[in-house]
Amino acid sequence: MANQDKKNRQVTGTSLLEVRNLKTHFFTKAGVVKAVDGVTFDIKPGETLGIVGESGSGKSMTAMSIMRLIPSPPGKIVGGEIEFEGKNLLSMSEKELKKIRGNEISMIFQDPMTSLNPVFTIKKQMVETILTHQDMTKKEAIDRAVELLDLVGIPDARARLNNYPHEFSGGMRQRVMIAMALSCDPKLLIADEPTTALDVTIQAQILDLLNRLQEEMGMSIMMITHDLGVVAEVCDRVMVMYAGQPVEFTEAATLFDHPKHPYTWGLLNSIPKITKKKEGQKRLEAIPGLPPDLRNLEAGCHFAPRCKHAMDSCYSKNPSYEPCEPDHFVRCLLYEEKEEVLSND
Amino acid sequence: MTNLLEVKDLKKHFPIKKGAIIPKQVGAVKAVDGVSFAVKKGETLGLVGESGCGKSTTGRTILRLLEPTEGNIFFNGEEITRYKGEKLRKLRKQMQMIFQDPYASLNPRMTVEQIISEPLRSFNVPSKQRRQKVDELLEVVGLSSYHKRRYPHEFSGGQRQRIGIARALALEPELVICDEPVSALDVSIQAQVVNLMEDLQKEYNLTYIFIAHDLSVVHHISDRVAVMYLGEIVEIGEADELYHNPKHPYTQALLSAVPEADPHLEKERIILEGDLPSPSSPPSGCKFHTRCPLAEDICREKRPQLNQLTNSDEHQVACHLVKEVVETGVN
């Protein structure tokens, strides 16, 4: 069972990846879009970090920045640091990056149909990936591909290597993508909404598979999702993002038990829970309004216009991203003010 | 409460044809294969299932957007299965649809006013009344009348879905079929739209058929829920009863697969093996037997009927292995 596996997993040691104050902006005709604006987090070896947020919150762009895959122009990483095992990814040349990308950090995407090339067989695509990064003969690479497909639970792997992507179902295609991503034993797997396009029963299979593979191979996973259920299921720590900024960052269990940021409260309250009886929950507590336009963000907290607890100062003062408790970061004036009040006493 | 809609043994098969000059039918995709249920006035019936289980086809066939292959549809006690021409057009006034994709279901070249008033225009409502109605509808769905001169691209996904809802309500329908109305929306916006739909239902006494793959949203909004698998209903019952006391192995697996936003929940997860079989050559007997962890010999041979559970009059299940059922013998 996924939950128990997760609890038994010990996450210790220094960070594998450290991102500090990352800023990725897009310079468009209509203005500067601050897609990622001051993101700070770290991933420890063997842990699963969840990044949650709605569309446009900058979670995918954070991942793309780590992979240095931001389309430029119009995009540009304008500030911050990304350190992977102590090496600065932002100052690397394209050649150095190639050794990391797909090798030590690999990525799986939401839509397995568009991320596989429809005109080549799985064999060709997998062997190409393996040969790019590893010193092998073609025959060895094919054997490795079979081994990987076996690992991700594709029956009759050797025969299926000759199939084209369209001959696989959605869940199977995602398995192929995972197999390709794992072909070089990456230390970090970035999974960008890996189960969003799948049905729940298939989603359960894939989450289970990722859990098992992490257990066996000991890699870290950065799980980007909009589904708090998936977070509760697989993540050790979670970062919640809103309008390009992290608003809360803590252990998964703490986030669900003691959420601090009003946006996190809103998210948790707006999803219906199936384990509760209907009488107990009459109306969903929606967050009013819409996310802000990232081209002209106003001063103050970006969430303030939608926040039930907004104070006057929220519209003028930028909240800082500080720990309100050890290992619990939150970007909200409610907690800063409280401390000020306390320190005044 | 009386039944607004009744569906009896509804089938929709899409022929597979081969041959360039004289195409011959070589098979059929059995998208909907013998579905029966009733919807009471003012209630919400949820239809859930994985992609390809026939839930959308069921919705479209009820609206007569697709011609049913077999079976009967009764609306307000009248059989509408063979309605044609003007009679069908009049009927359409009472049944409307809300679509999944708020980006594709609104014409990008029409203003919001044109979009919402189009159904009114096709039923010859005079223009002055039309304008009034558009203002009224925009307000009802939480937009303002100044929005009516704008085009769909100027709105966010949630707002577009509100426009789609306003269009569906323009003719004051009795039945609204909602085909994945919130799947494309972010959670915070999804809750706004779900709340809006609930408010509108109360205000206008609407009857909903709510089609979705998100089990928690369906549970929240529905009075009763039907679970579909490969074109058949495998279980139907009152929402709380079905979610807390699921009888069919497929319903159990489906519910156990939903990730719940509670890390302390210790859930027994049933992981189904394999994928959905092809609806053009469904398995014999019980269609679920290929993935069912409990399947026995009888499941491979005999197709189970939808039977009433003994302790409840709303809860029906189609499984040979559930014993506490009332044997009716007919389906």
**Per-residue pLDDT tens for A263-314?**
999 998 888 887 777 665 578 888 888 888 888 888 889 999 888 888 888 8
HEC sequence for chain B:
CCEEEEEEEEEEEEEEEECCCCCEEEEEEEEEEEEEEEEECCCEEEEECCCCCCHHHHHHHHCCCCCCCEEEEEECCEECCCCCHHHHHHHHCCEEEECCCCCCCCCCCCCHHHHHHHHHHHCCCCHHHHHHHHHHHHHHCCCCHHHHHCCHHHCCHHHHHHHHHHHHHCCCCCEEEEECCCCCCCHHHHHHHHHHHHHHHHHHCCEEEEECCCHHHHHHHCCEEEEEECCEEEEEEEHHHHHHCCCCHHHHHHHHHCCCCCCCCCCCCCCCCCCCCCCCCCCCCCCCCCCCCCCCHHHHHCCCCCEEECCCCCCEECCCCCCCEECCCCC
The crossing angle, in degrees rounded to 10, of helices B157-169 and B112-122 is 20
Rounded to the nearest angstrom, the minimum Cα separation between A194 and chain B is: 14
Q: Is A197 helix (H, G, I), strand (E, B) or coil?
A: coil
pLDDT number for residue A338: 58
Task: Show residues of chain A in contact with B216, CB under 8 Å.
Answer: 271-274
Candidates A54, A60, A200, partner chain B, best to mutate (most B CBs within 10 A): A200
Which DSSP category does A226 fall into? S
DSSP 3-state assignment of A297?
A: coil
Residue B166 has pLDDT above 70, yes or no: yes
Residues A94 and A222 in one domain: yes
Q: Report the alpha-carbon distance of residue B64 to residue B278 in Å, rounded.
A: 25
Per-residue burial over A255-280, b if 16 or more Cβ lie within 10 Å, else e, is: bbeebbbbbbbbbbbbbbbbeeebee
Percent of chain B with pLDDT over 70: 98
pLDDT score of A342: 46
Instruction: Judge whether A325 lies within some domain.
Output: no
Q: How far is CA B158 from CA A59, A242, B142, B223, B262, in A?
A: 20, 17, 11, 24, 27
Which residues does chain A have within 8 Å of residue B268's beta carbon, measured at their own beta carbons?
Answer: 1
Lowest mean pLDDT among A177-181, A254-258, B196-200, B266-270: B266-270
At A270 the pLDDT is: 87
Q: What CATH number is associated with residue A90?
A: 3.40.50.300
Per-residue pLDDT of chain A (345 residues; tens, 9 = 90+): 444 444 445 455 688 999 999 999 999 888 888 999 999 999 999 999 999 988 888 888 999 999 888 888 888 899 899 999 888 988 888 888 888 888 899 999 887 777 888 999 999 999 998 998 888 899 999 999 998 998 888 888 888 899 998 888 888 888 898 998 888 889 999 999 888 878 888 888 888 889 988 998 889 999 999 889 899 989 999 999 999 999 999 999 999 999 999 999 999 888 888 777 766 557 888 888 888 888 888 888 999 988 888 888 888 888 888 888 888 999 988 887 655 544 443
* Cβ separation B265–A3 shorter than 8 A: yes
- Same domain assignment for residues A210 and A283: yes
With a CB-CB cutoff of 8 Å, which residues 223-262 of chain A face chain B?
226-233, 252-253, 256-257
Interface contact B213, partner A, CB < 8 A: yes
> What ipTM was predicted for this assembly?
0.80
CB contact under 8 A, B264 and A272: no
Nearest to A197 by CA among A216, A218, A178, A169: A169
Confidence of residue B173 (pLDDT cuts 50, 70, 90): very high
For chain B, what is the mean pLDDT?
89
**Residue holding tokens 């809860």?**
B315
> Distance of CA A339 to CAs A325, A333, B169, Å?
11, 10, 51
Residues A5 and A94 in one domain: yes
| pLDDT at A279 (0 to 100) | 62
Check CB contact of A271 with chain B, cutoff 8 Å.
yes
Distance in Å, alpha carbon of A111 to nearest chain B alpha carbon: 15
Pairing outcome for strands A328-331 and A245-251: antiparallel
Do residues A37 and A162 share a domain?
Answer: no
A128 and A72, same domain (yes or no): no
Structure-block tokens of residue B186: 């972010």
Domain count, chain A: 2
How far is residue A253's CA from residue A237's CA, in Å, rounded to a whole number?
8
Q: How far is B35 from chain A (nearest CA, A)?
A: 22
CB spacing of B51 vs A199 below 8 angstroms: yes
Asked if B271 is an interface residue toward chain A (Cβ–Cβ < 8 A), one would say yes
A278 touches chain B (CB under 8 A): yes
Q: Are A36 and A20 in contact (CB under 8 A)?
A: no
Which residues 232-251 in chain B show a CB within 8 A of chain A? 239-240, 243-244
Who has greater pLDDT, B283 or A275?
B283
Residues B188-214 have a mean pLDDT of: 91
3-state helix, strand, coil in chain A (%, to 5): 40, 25, 35
How far apart CA A336 and CA B259 sit, in angstroms, is 34
Within this chain, do residues A149 and A241 fall inside the same structural domain, yes or no?
no
Q: Same domain, yes or no, for A175 and A196?
A: no
**Chain B within 8 Å of A113 (Cβ-Cβ)?**
no
Contact A274 B258 (CB under 8 A): yes
A128 and A264 assigned to the same domain: no
Instruction: Pick A54's closest partner by Cβ from B187, B217, B256.
Output: B187
Q: Is the CB of residue A308 less than 8 Å away from at least one CB of chain B?
A: no
Of A201, A266, A283, the CB nearest to B254: A201
Instruction: Check: CB of residue B282 under 8 Å from CB of residue B33.
Output: yes
Q: Is A209 on the interface with B (CB under 8 A)?
A: no
Q: For residue range B112-161, what is the model confidence (pLDDT) as tens digits?
A: 999 999 999 999 899 999 999 999 999 999 888 888 899 999 888 889 99
A232 contacts B187? CB cut-off 8 A: no
**Boundary of a domain, candidates A153, A183, A213:** A183
CA distance B171 to chain A (A): 27
Tell whether A30 is within 8 A of chain B (Cβ): no
> What is the pLDDT at residue A195?
86
Is residue A271 situated within a structural domain?
Answer: yes
Chain B hits for A277, CB-CB cut-off 8 Å, are 240, 244
Residue A338 makes CB contacts below 8 A (sequence gap 6+) with none
> Which residues of A are less than 8 Å from B243 in CB distance?
274
- Which class would CATH give B3-18+26-94+173-326? alpha beta
Are the C-beta atoms of B10 and B74 separated by less than 8 Å? no
A333 in a structural domain: no
Indicate whether A299 belongs to any domain: no
Residue B82 CB neighbour total at 10 angstroms: 12
Note whether A270 contacts B: Cβ–Cβ < 8 A: yes
Question: Which residues in chain B have Cβ-Cβ distances shorter than 8 Å to A205?
Answer: 271-272
A154 touches chain B (CB under 8 A): no
Q: Which of A240, A268, A274 to mutate to test the interface with B (most CBs of B within 10 A)?
A: A274
- Report CB contact under 8 Å: B191, A200: no
Is A207 close to B259, i.e. CB distance below 8 A?
A: yes
Which residues span the domain enclosing A11? 1-104+189-292
Q: Are the C-beta atoms of B232 and B33 separated by less than 8 Å? A: yes
Domain for residue A337, yes or no?
no
Residues A178 and A210 in one domain: no
On whether both A281 and A198 belong to a single domain, the answer is yes
* Mutation target vs A (from B161, B186, B200; most A CBs, 10 A cutoff): B186
Q: What per-residue confidence (pLDDT) applies to B101?
A: 82
Lowest mean pLDDT among A102-111, B70-79, B211-220: A102-111
Are A197 and A91 in a shared domain?
Answer: yes
Asked if A125 and A156 sit in the same domain, the reply is yes
Task: Order the strands of the B70-75 sheet from edge to edge.
Answer: B24-40, B3-18, B70-75, B78-79
Give just the sign of the alpha carbon dihedral A21, A26, A32, A34. negative
Ordered strands of the A48-52 beta sheet: A105-108, A188-192, A220-225, A48-52, A237-242, A245-251, A328-331, A321-325
CA distance B216 to chain A (A): 5
pLDDT at B327: 61
Kindly determine whether residue B195 and residue A274, on different chains, have CB atoms separated by under 8 Å: no
Of B213, B219, B258, the CB nearest to A229: B258
Output the pLDDT for position A23: 93
The answer to whether position A308 is within a domain reads no
Q: For residue B1, what pLDDT band results from cuts at 50, 70 and 90?
A: low
Interface test with B, best of A8, A59, A201, A223 (most B CBs within 10 A): A201
Q: What confidence score (pLDDT) does residue A169 get?
A: 82
Interface test with A, best of B51, B218, B262 (most A CBs within 10 A): B262
Max CA-CA distance within chain A?
A: 74
